[in-house]
Structure 1
Amino acid sequence: MEFSEHIKTANVEDVELRQPLHPPSRGTLCITGHHLLFSDREVGSSRHVLLLLRNIDAIEKRIAASSGTITIKCKDLRVLQLDIPGMEQCLNIAHSIETLSSLDNVSEMYPFFYRPIDLSLQDQWDLSSPEEHYRQKTELHEMWRLSTVNNDYSVCPSYPPAVIVPQSIDDDTLKKAAKFRQGGRFPVLCYYHRKNGMVIMRSSQPLTGANRKRCKEDELLLQAVIDGSDKGYIIDTRSSQQVQQARMTGGGFESKSCYIGWKRLHKQMERGKVLQESLIKLVEACGDESHNMDRWLSKLENSKWLSHVQTALSTAGLLAECVERDGHSALVHGYEGTDCSLLISTLAQLIMDPSCRTLEGFLRLLEREWVQAGHPFQQRCAHSAFSHARLHQESPVFLLLLDCIWQLWRQFPCALGFSEALLLRLATEVYSSDCGTFLCNNDQERCSLGVKKGTHCLFRVLLRPTERNYYSNPLYEPTELAIWPSVHPQSLQLWRGFFLRWTPQARHLEEVQEEIRNMVIEWVKAAQGDGAMVQ
């Protein structure tokens, strides 16, 4: 397909652009296969706007006799307005934007065309593979092994080719256990706690069904996890009622009588459509220009977004307590094991493990727990909060993760080695990116569609020296202690940097934070210089 087929009008002169935080400007509008480009025509002005079409969530158009207005609502929550002379030109531009912003052929997306001069496609795509991760964790080798049972993705389409499992469990047992778990997602290790040797496992729900089916191989696998220990915990991200309903449709839970030593804990977490509608309501509240505080607070509360943040942090805290304080291993799952399970396992690791709190350690954690572990980014992030399309599988689970991490960052400003700017960058990139990291729904799709060969890895981009300096936290002081978040309502705040990022108040706050950051960096440099002189 040629992108030109969808571009009836490529350039329009005398377009007026209105955008947040800037005065209206007049200039030339250009549309390409992947971008919308606006150039200010004012003499001496170098201002321009380059917008990736994949960032557009919805457009609205108003047509008059001789002109038209297009309102563009972006996935990063920006709202732009274009006043275009000529009714036909306006309709053509609107049609092109609608078509090109919703193309779903992965190989036609911009990451396959993005070629920065300082990056090479010959570079390793991942920061680390499951094999490398296992080799580095030498303390695992006595009790755990690396299995390549899924090397052709036939056992579990959403798992990577290699996974870490108990040493005593052979591949035939894993294959049978996989058939007993939804989507083939049998229990695999995602975290080993060095302090006490306990682990966190991830999986999907068991397919016990109404007849209470059993799988001895699955039982054997989980028994091997707690071998030598008195018990383990299963953190189920569904309510008791939801679990019983799941049984009636073929799903289910691990019964006490079959899984000896495992204690099940229920912590209901919303997902899917409920979470997506919560985001929509929150963004609507943030766009309320009535300046009525009571109304705004009511809308904020009705969105229930901060309730979802609170639940996620408290569930992650429970998981971390089971491992860190109680000294027991844990298995976490809900339904498919591709959303809430990844959310709380990631947060629990940040709470407990200092190596996950460095800039590089955090990016490796995201790669391991989300990209390699099979979070369906393509489905979940197809639309954001403005889209008029009927919701299918969209859900802002990754955005909820970033919000929870921001709450941690705010409560422990010196404990995390990265800045809020990194979280904001990730919140934008997950919906539209120059890189291929968040394309597709799992590792198998990325390999079959050539993503790893034909695009660049976002995490490697973020670790380049210039980017690394910008996204590092100058106040970072490593600590071996766990960082336990407060989940009291008064301890949680709206993430203004993201949800109010296009308002003057947020921009002023951003400028102040950047000034403080620069002052801290200069102070650190000066202190290091004085120390060198003393020596």
Structure 2
Amino acid sequence: MDAIRVSKVEQVQFAKGGTISTGTVHLTAHHIIFRYDDAGEKEMWMPYPLISLVNRQPQTLQGQAQLNFHTRTFESFSLTFRRESDASDVFESVKELTVSASVSQLYAFFYNPSPPFPTNDGWSLYSPRDEYIRMGVGTRSKAWRFTDLNKDYSFCATYPARIVVPTRISDTTLQYASKYRSKCRIPVLSYLHWANYGSITRSSQPMVGITQNRSVQDEKLIEAIFQSHWSPESRVSNANVYGATPTNLIIDARPTVNAVANTAKGAGTENMDYYKEGKKVYLGIDHIHTMRESLAKVVEALREADQLLASINQSLPDQVADLAVLDKGALRRSGWLRHISAILEGTVIIAKNVHVNSSHVLIHCSDGWDRTSQLSALSQLCLDPFYRTIRGFEILIEKDWLSFGHKFLDRCGHLSSEKFFLSTTGGADTGSGAEAAQAFLASVQNRFTSQHHIKETSPVFHQFLEAVRQVQRQFPDRFEFNERFLQQLYYHLYSCQFGTFLFNCEKDRRVGDGGPPPSERTISVWDFFNSPTEMSLNRNATYHSTLDDPTRRTSDSDMGVLLPNPKDVRFWHELYGRTDEEMNGRFVAPQIRDAEHVGSLDNADDDPVVQEISAQEATPSSGSGGKWADSSLAGSLGVLPAPVRAHSPGLGTGLRDISASLPDLPSSRAAPSRTPTPLSGGAPGRAPNSQASQSLLNTPIWSRAKQPDILSGGGVKSVWGKLSSNASAAFSVVQDAYAGVAKDLMNTGIGQGGEETAAKTSELRGRDVLSAWGQERSTSPLPPSSTSYQRAPVTENPWSISPTSQQHISIFDENPWGVPSEAESTASVATPPRPSAIEPMSPLPLDPTVVPIPVTSAARVVTPSVLGRNSPQAMARSRAQSPPNASKIDNTDPLGVGLL
């Protein structure tokens, strides 16, 4: 090939894991090969798509040049060449062979196994009709039917050709309902439970928008799904039906922030006022960009450990094997385990709702092919023992990942990019100025053309495999396949050796572009896994299928349904090439859930997304309040109002509600204490206007009307809704306070613009002329050295609650330094107060230990001079020595130096 500048380079140093070897580098059309000079070592073969980053280092003083390679299998190694030209040729060749212009250039279209695999039915392994009949569609339940509406992929390009929908809904209704769902991905059946008529359906987000659109056809479709346990011919509501579906759920996997942001694009989430058959739950699972950044932090920690090992090897080669240099703190800060824990929490909720409550669950995120596939596949893995066999797991991936349109090509980044090839040589190969300018323009053009492709990458399927590994580790006897099977599956996800994971949807695999389809031109990865050699290596020796017998009646029987512990998560150290001690340590603290989780929403009044949309509609397009006039602009900029950004610090109320209806949830917690909030006024989710907020501030907190507790009675509402109104009110107060600051930026002098101007521009002046918090500044401030201690009357601080009772048992209760000794207490009581020892006009600051500090009616100031002096006579003397205005001062500073 023309891309290969050099096919063979000898006497190359190969460094990996702190060891250095010598050998020969070979470049082929699809692999980079390193052959050791030591005949006992096995050759290293690496497909080009596995390369994630190549860094070309500058030439050393000895004339050597080094290339650092990082792979998608979390390995790092370096090749050191004796000549700079060899390193340059290898670098450019690998870049040309890794960055592909089309999928047809990948290794899968040229791979031909020799000898051929014994089985060649990998592309026909999954039959939608056979699999849904196995579940009971058309046999146990007549409420579901197959439809050929998408047989030519004209109805929905990203859906499979054969889909299962409720029998009561016609194809015409489906056509209308598709206009209301993103990418026309309507709710369709993914799983029918073997023990009851509970179901798992999946879809994309509804096209609600800012104007709160609705679709009667979509509402009827979901109503038919939630009533599918009844016979389609007759609905007898007074009959005793097993599993009367009291807890039908619509699972929105996104945080509420993402749902609000999507309303600016015309999408959003369901308004539960129109879906009376069920409730809605927000799982708070972050989007693909957050997952990509989280894994990048894990990879960065692994690379830093490899670099540290390589540097230590140069000075201490005999001690590298005994060193643990991986930063466990960086691994925890990545949040990777927290994201997996959030996915497992949603999985348990879905599995319990289907199996225990015999109810129905509709899952969706934004487009329904990332988080939706994770939750749907993991839930079925826990519910159905068939999917825990090797063949069943392959069918599960074919059904919920490949046929339902997960974007493997975009998420895995198979085509790579030139951005992943970094050179620090400073352009040594550039020639004339024209060539340098042309190279610069080419790099700029490549930056704009490939940026979208890079942003689409995300380890979604990798995250699913790690979640499966967590369940497999907790139930080691319930899976027919072992850990090696998952690790090999991850390897071939990125190797591009087979055509299974190369495309974004079933249409791209089954329909050819002017020629045979890719399913006929490439080999399926299941042919490789189902070969006798791989089957023997991937079987779990401790697997016991009898444990999944639903008729088994023992103390540990579970009818074959697994409910994993979402908090028992650990790094998959085998995948990362590390030991369990190195990555997880001897003890793993419980993963604290700081992501939002809102659930069990019955109607729109409880939905924080609907409340925020209503608040945006009520907000005027112009004004001095500083609020977002255009919600679409706010969503596009990623800046959302305060109520949307608030998060529950722990497990939300929704999770506790679901846990109450789904018994024996391992992560159940006690409900938090209910604390009244001072700033809660007006409609939920709406900020009060300036007049209302001013009136609210001028009213004492203890005399304000108590707002009803949203956590008791009247339906279920999460802490999110409570925090939203408070944050909105506080946000409005702050904006009103600083509304006119921008107009007075040029007038910052005191006394030039009057008291009003001085009040507006107080934050622009120095600290020496500013008053304390909650105090009004006098128009003629005293110099700092003055012995007079008078202040103007204070204004009420809306964020501080004054105590209603002035009873103090002991003055020592307010001493932050502890209770003094008995001798000190006696001496302090007997000692009279000392007069001020500060000279007038002294440049030194006031000494709080010698200056008499006034005692207010709100709080008593404790100083060493008056410590323990709580008798009525001492209090009378203190009041007599206080300044005239001391009774009006609200000084809560224990040292009496004031708040700066």
TM-score (norm: length of structure 1): 0.88
Equivalent residues in 2 for 1:450-489, closer than 5 Å? 450-478=517-545, 479=548, 480-488=559-567
**Alignment partner, residue 51 of structure 2:** 56
The answer to whether the Cα contact below 8 Å between 2:138 and 2:145 also exists between their aligned partners in 1 is yes
Q: CA deviation at 1:204?
A: 0.3
**Alignment partner, residue 889 of structure 2:** none
Q: SS at the partner of 1:220?
A: helix
**Alignment partner, residue 173 of structure 1:** 173
User: Does 1:279 pair with 2:295?
Assistant: yes
Alignment equivalent of 1:33, drawn from 29, 54, 58: 29
- Report the AA paired with residue 406 of structure 1: R
The answer to whether the Cα contact below 8 Å between 1:283 and 1:499 also exists between their aligned partners in 2 is no
Q: CA deviation at 1:240?
A: 3.0
Equivalent residues in 2 for 1:320-335, closer than 5 Å? 320-335=351-366
The answer to whether the Cα contact below 8 Å between 2:119 and 2:530 also exists between their aligned partners in 1 is no
The answer to whether the Cα contact below 8 Å between 1:126 and 1:457 also exists between their aligned partners in 2 is no
RMSD of equivalent CA atoms: 2.5
- Report the AA paired with residue 240 of structure 1: T
Aligned length: 498
The verdict on how the C-alpha distance between 1:288 and 1:97 changes in structure 2, with shifts beyond 3 A counting, is: same
**Alignment partner, residue 74 of structure 2:** 77
Alignment equivalent of 1:500, drawn from 577, 590, 595: 577
Point out the structure with the larger strand share: 1
The verdict on how the C-alpha distance between 1:124 and 1:259 changes in structure 2, with shifts beyond 3 A counting, is: same
**Alignment partner, residue 374 of structure 2:** 343
**Alignment partner, residue 220 of structure 2:** 220
The answer to whether the Cα contact below 8 Å between 1:121 and 1:455 also exists between their aligned partners in 2 is no
Q: CA deviation at 1:55?
A: 0.6
Any idea what the Cα deviations from partners look like across 1:166-202, whole Å, max 9, x if unmatched? 1122222222222211111111111110111110000
**Alignment partner, residue 260 of structure 1:** 276
- Report the AA paired with residue 461 of structure 1: F
The answer to whether the Cα contact below 8 Å between 2:106 and 2:496 also exists between their aligned partners in 1 is no
The verdict on how the C-alpha distance between 1:318 and 1:294 changes in structure 2, with shifts beyond 3 A counting, is: farther
Q: Distance in 2 between matches of 1:104 and 1:416?
A: 40
- Mean Cα deviation higher: 175-184 or 272-281: 175-184
- Report the AA paired with residue 165 of structure 2: V
- Report the AA paired with residue 562 of structure 2: I
User: Does 1:438 pair with 2:435?
Assistant: no
- Mean Cα deviation higher: 475-484 or 111-120: 111-120
**Alignment partner, residue 409 of structure 1:** 472
- Report the AA paired with residue 68 of structure 1: A
Q: SS at the partner of 1:204?
A: coil
User: Does 1:130 pair with 2:128?
Assistant: yes
- Report the AA paired with residue 452 of structure 1: S
- Give 5+ residue unaligned stretches, structure 2: 231-243, 310-322, 422-449, 549-558, 584-900
The verdict on how the C-alpha distance between 1:295 and 1:363 changes in structure 2, with shifts beyond 3 A counting, is: closer
Q: SS at the partner of 1:347?
A: helix
- Report the AA paired with residue 352 of structure 2: E
Any idea what the Cα deviations from partners look like across 1:358-398, whole Å, max 9, x if unmatched? 111111111111111111011111179x9578641111111
The verdict on how the C-alpha distance between 1:174 and 1:120 changes in structure 2, with shifts beyond 3 A counting, is: farther
- Report the AA paired with residue 466 of structure 2: D
- Mean Cα deviation higher: 195-204 or 250-259: 250-259
Q: Select the structure of larger CA radius of gyration.
A: 2
Q: CA deviation at 1:114?
A: 1.0
Equivalent residues in 2 for 1:67-466, closer than 5 Å? 67-116=64-113, 117-119=115-117, 123=121, 125-141=123-139, 142-227=142-227, 228=230, 230-231=245-246, 232-289=248-305, 296-382=327-413, 387=420, 391-449=454-512, 450-466=517-533
**Alignment partner, residue 515 of structure 1:** none
The answer to whether the Cα contact below 8 Å between 1:18 and 1:82 also exists between their aligned partners in 2 is yes
Any idea what the Cα deviations from partners look like across 1:331-356, whole Å, max 9, x if unmatched? 00010101001101111111111111
Q: CA deviation at 1:156?
A: 1.2
TM-score (norm: length of structure 2): 0.53
**Alignment partner, residue 530 of structure 1:** none
Q: CA deviation at 1:41?
A: 3.2
- Report the AA paired with residue 178 of structure 1: S
Q: Distance in 2 between matches of 1:295 and 1:73?
A: 17
The answer to whether the Cα contact below 8 Å between 2:573 and 2:580 also exists between their aligned partners in 1 is no
The verdict on how the C-alpha distance between 1:502 and 1:412 changes in structure 2, with shifts beyond 3 A counting, is: closer
Q: CA deviation at 1:497?
A: 0.9
The answer to whether the Cα contact below 8 Å between 2:191 and 2:380 also exists between their aligned partners in 1 is yes
Point out the structure with the larger helix share: 1
Any idea what the Cα deviations from partners look like across 1:25-49, whole Å, max 9, x if unmatched? 322211122111122234x446311
Any idea what the Cα deviations from partners look like across 1:41-97, whole Å, max 9, x if unmatched? 34x446311110111011011242743111111111111211123211211110111
- Report the AA paired with residue 117 of structure 2: L
The verdict on how the C-alpha distance between 1:159 and 1:172 changes in structure 2, with shifts beyond 3 A counting, is: same
Q: CA deviation at 1:502?
A: 8.8
- Report the AA paired with residue 302 of structure 1: R
**Alignment partner, residue 512 of structure 1:** none
Q: Distance in 1 between matches of 2:136 and 2:245?
A: 25
- Report the AA paired with residue 379 of structure 2: A
The verdict on how the C-alpha distance between 1:16 and 1:375 changes in structure 2, with shifts beyond 3 A counting, is: same
Q: CA deviation at 1:482?
A: 1.3
- Give 5+ residue unaligned stretches, structure 1: 507-535
More relative contact order in 1 or in 2 (CA 8 Å, sep 6+)? 1
- Report the AA paired with residue 272 of structure 1: I
Q: SS at the partner of 2:494?
A: coil
Q: Distance in 2 between matches of 1:381 and 1:124?
A: 21
The answer to whether the Cα contact below 8 Å between 2:31 and 2:48 also exists between their aligned partners in 1 is yes
Q: CA deviation at 1:493?
A: 1.2
The answer to whether the Cα contact below 8 Å between 1:134 and 1:146 also exists between their aligned partners in 2 is no
The answer to whether the Cα contact below 8 Å between 1:78 and 1:502 also exists between their aligned partners in 2 is no
- Report the AA paired with residue 162 of structure 1: R
Q: Distance in 1 between matches of 2:479 and 2:122?
A: 26
